[in-house]
Structure 1
Amino acid sequence: MSLREALRHAATVLLALLCAAVLTACTNAELHKQEAYVFGTRVDVTVYGETRETAEAAMAEVLREFDRLHRAYHAWQPSELTRLNDAIARGEVATVSNELAAMLTDAGRLADLGDNLFNPAMGALIEMWGFQADEFVPRRPDPSALRAVLDAAPRMSDLVINANQVESRNPAVKLDLGGYAKGYALDRAAAILRAKGIENALINIGGNILALGKKGDSPWRIGLQHPREPQPLATLPLYDGEAIGTSGDYQRYFELDGKRYSHLLDPRSGGPAEATQSMTVLVTPREGAGTLSDAASKPPFIAGDNWRQYTRRYGIDHALRVAANGHIEVTRELRARLQFPSGTAPVTVVD
């Protein structure tokens, strides 16, 4: 399966799940929805309990913001981020927007918490594996080039950020915010909707989801994608201010010689992490919940059997992992919220 086909399949499944689990009455006059394709995935915004005119104006502003963020922080098409990467490669100080400076500072903090298993400075590795391309061609990187990047050990802590001036102590730093920007966009969308007086909405960016309010008398209900089947692994209610993020080896990947190569790279080895099929984290209401739901799913995914120590570091008690062998592990707090379909394999509950 090509990367494009995999993305299309994942987007289709996610859309079907969301429509089945959330939009139980798609013709309901109080339910309004807009969709787009941004950040390399399908996004949709659903508003409940507003007039069509109010909902559509608010959703359109959210989608315009998504487009702005996509263009501003694209990792390989000309953008503010690529200009910063060019300056870093030349050993120069770059002047960036206040927004990007704040994003980089926050991403550095999250990277430190996760022992750099979440590492937006490793864009060179992502490029080597072919995941920075509009027209994807499956390939394995040259071992010597990969080793050179690993030896250079680019980290977010290499950046020196002074107000909106950014430089790097390490010229091997090449920034890619693909594991951060979707979550950041969730928070921006929530801020826009709240400013517009929207109290009940659901924002979905390729499976990274944030809830505002509820849907009528009930909470929003979502489905977690099964990493190997075209069906939900489980469903759960999502309450006001909560965000959920999933990292999965089924989201962006290619296959060569019968082996799956995921875009979720382990900065320690330089290759795709192989111990986990999917890792889901649910972030309870707090500032930056959307951003955290995106970034904090990466370290536990990569850590494999040691996943729980990383969710604890991020202050996350609701988490679920599907191991490489298909075994499901879930925290006690999240298990209490989940509904599994009949026939689901045994689930291990962890503290």
Structure 2
Amino acid sequence: MRQLRNGPWIDTRQGDTVRKAIAPIVAVIVVGAGLATFFALRKLPEPVTSTYFLMDTVLTIKTTGGDAAAINEHLHALASNVDSMTSYYNPESETVRVNGAAGKGPVSVSPEYAALLKTAVAVETIDHGRTFDIAISPVSSLWGFMTKDFRVPAAKEISDTLAYSHSDQLVLSDTTVQLRDSQARIDLGGVAKGYSLDVMEEYLKTVKPQPRQVIVDFGGNLLLYSGGRKRDWKIGIRDPRGQGIIGYVRSGDAFVATSGDYERYFERDGKRYCHIIDPSTGYPGTLNQSVTVITDIQPMHGAIGDALGKVFFCSTAETQRLLFQAAQGQGTVGIVIVDAAGTRSTLGPITFVPAAAQ
């Protein structure tokens, strides 16, 4: 964890073999000078911070007030349950059962899993699956992002694999799921961390006594929770090509999701290939360096924000503007974009404050 002038921020760095940036995707500045004085006067209890490793990334939970330690443990258990349900690798997961039956017929799944699939498909429809697709994993495998055996596949490999790597292979009916082609696969990694935050927020609303505030950082996906009491969270935006943050935006309680090309990537011949595959081409996205999506606290908006990060990451500036109205209809409060040239822009009624202005 590094200390900024305005307060602490959370390091979400993972430890796999992919070359990664040292700082986190998103930094949450928790306490400014005025708030620090206020909290001191109120004599709030010290926060309890717990760190776990789950879904191949770091999960950090910081709870202030209430039975903080017990809350942290329960939030971790909830995220573990989501991992058990959605994992691409756990042989007991529903994803593995669906993929294992590809080309053979429908598979019964839980109502929770079916609802998550429907949410993911609903996000796909805002851009007709061109920028986010849960069935793109066979193409991701070609690039080595599933096994970490990185390579640049031949163009024909990509085009041949794309033929069965779109959600038109998916047949979803109530609580049954079918993949038409035997080679088709789905992967919910693009929504699972965000959905975990949804489940956590639903639980937090029921806790008695209520905690004063909870910050959950799940591999850069954030839940900022205060039961509606706090309206001035400062959300720092990571510098995609350097240390620290480039600035911040303010928000009330929210889900925050960042998609960037600097956490999981490899390089060949001086070119960067990130893990976010553009479903329309089969190649890693190159239009943007990072996209941060802020969604309001409503059911499934954590998962939606997680998916929308990929949608906007793989879109041009013009398309981003066109898509934003549909994204607002799915709970989006605002978006901060750093394009391939490093130019910053925002969508929605949010104000970006550059780091130099702090």
TM-score computed with the length of structure 1 as normaliser: 0.85
Q: In terms of mean alpha carbon deviation, does 72-81 or 55-64 score higher?
A: 72-81
Cα deviation, residue 159, structure 1:
2.3
* Separation (CA, whole Å) in 1 of partners of 2:185 and 2:245: 36
* Separation (CA, whole Å) in 1 of partners of 2:207 and 2:241: 39
Question: Which residue of 1 is the match for residue 298 of structure 2?
Answer: 286
- For the structure 1 residues 23 and 314, does the alpha-carbon distance in structure 2 shift closer, same or farther, using more than 3 Å as the test? same
- For the structure 1 residues 162 and 231, does the alpha-carbon distance in structure 2 shift closer, same or farther, using more than 3 Å as the test? same
Q: Which secondary structure does the structure 2 equivalent of 1:125 belong to?
A: helix
Q: Which secondary structure does the structure 2 equivalent of 1:314 belong to?
A: helix
Cα deviation, residue 231, structure 1:
0.8
Structure 1 position 22 matched with structure 2 position 30: yes
Cα deviation, residue 151, structure 1:
2.8
Match of 1:97 among 110, 123, 131: 110
Question: Which residue of 2 is the match for residue 308 of structure 1?
Answer: 321
* Separation (CA, whole Å) in 2 of partners of 1:124 and 1:151: 10
- Map 1:71-150; keep pairs closer than 5 Å: 71-78=84-91, 79-88=93-102, 90-116=103-129, 117-133=131-147, 136-150=148-162
Q: 1:15-37, CA deviations, whole angstroms, 9 ceiling, x for partnerless residues?
A: 8x44xx22678x97432221112
Match of 2:269 among 257, 263, 268: 257
- For the structure 1 residues 143 and 341, does the alpha-carbon distance in structure 2 shift closer, same or farther, using more than 3 Å as the test? same
What is the identity percentage for the equivalent residue pairs of Structure 1 and Structure 2?
A: 26
- Map 1:1-351; keep pairs closer than 5 Å: 4-6=16-18, 9-10=21-22, 12-13=23-24, 17-18=27-28, 21-22=29-30, 29-50=45-66, 54-78=67-91, 79-88=93-102, 90-116=103-129, 117-133=131-147, 136-152=148-164, 154-155=166-167, 157-197=168-208, 198-199=210-211, 200-213=213-226, 219-240=232-253, 242-305=254-317, 306-315=319-328, 316-331=332-347, 333-335=349-351, 338-342=352-356
Cα deviation, residue 329, structure 1:
1.4
Cα deviation, residue 311, structure 1:
2.5
- For the structure 1 residues 285 and 63, does the alpha-carbon distance in structure 2 shift closer, same or farther, using more than 3 Å as the test? closer
Cα deviation, residue 172, structure 1:
4.3
Choose between structure 1 and 2: higher helix proportion: 1
Letter in 1 for 2:100: D
Letter in 2 for 1:212: Y
* Separation (CA, whole Å) in 1 of partners of 2:274 and 2:182: 26
Question: Contact (CA 8 Å) 1:154, 1:172: kept in 2 or not?
Answer: no
Q: Which secondary structure does the structure 1 equivalent of 2:354 belong to?
A: coil
Question: Contact (CA 8 Å) 1:48, 1:216: kept in 2 or not?
Answer: no
Question: Contact (CA 8 Å) 2:214, 2:225: kept in 1 or not?
Answer: yes
Gap runs ≥5 in structure 1: 345-351
Question: Contact (CA 8 Å) 1:249, 1:262: kept in 2 or not?
Answer: yes
Question: Contact (CA 8 Å) 2:324, 2:347: kept in 1 or not?
Answer: no
Letter in 2 for 1:103: L
Cα deviation, residue 235, structure 1:
2.0
Q: Which secondary structure does the structure 1 equivalent of 2:315 belong to?
A: helix
Question: Which residue of 1 is the match for residue 11 of structure 2?
Answer: none
- For the structure 1 residues 80 and 216, does the alpha-carbon distance in structure 2 shift closer, same or farther, using more than 3 Å as the test? closer
Q: Which secondary structure does the structure 2 equivalent of 1:152 belong to?
A: coil
TM-score computed with the length of structure 2 as normaliser: 0.83
Cα deviation, residue 293, structure 1:
1.3
Q: Which secondary structure does the structure 2 equivalent of 1:255 belong to?
A: strand
Letter in 2 for 1:207: G
Question: Contact (CA 8 Å) 1:211, 1:238: kept in 2 or not?
Answer: no
RMSD: 2.7
Q: 1:276-334, CA deviations, whole angstroms, 9 ceiling, x for partnerless residues?
A: 10111111333322112101111111012222222321113511111111111113512
- For the structure 1 residues 6 and 339, does the alpha-carbon distance in structure 2 shift closer, same or farther, using more than 3 Å as the test? farther
- For the structure 1 residues 153 and 132, does the alpha-carbon distance in structure 2 shift closer, same or farther, using more than 3 Å as the test? closer
Question: Which residue of 2 is the match for residue 349 of structure 1?
Answer: none
Q: How many residues align?
A: 329
Letter in 2 for 1:246: T
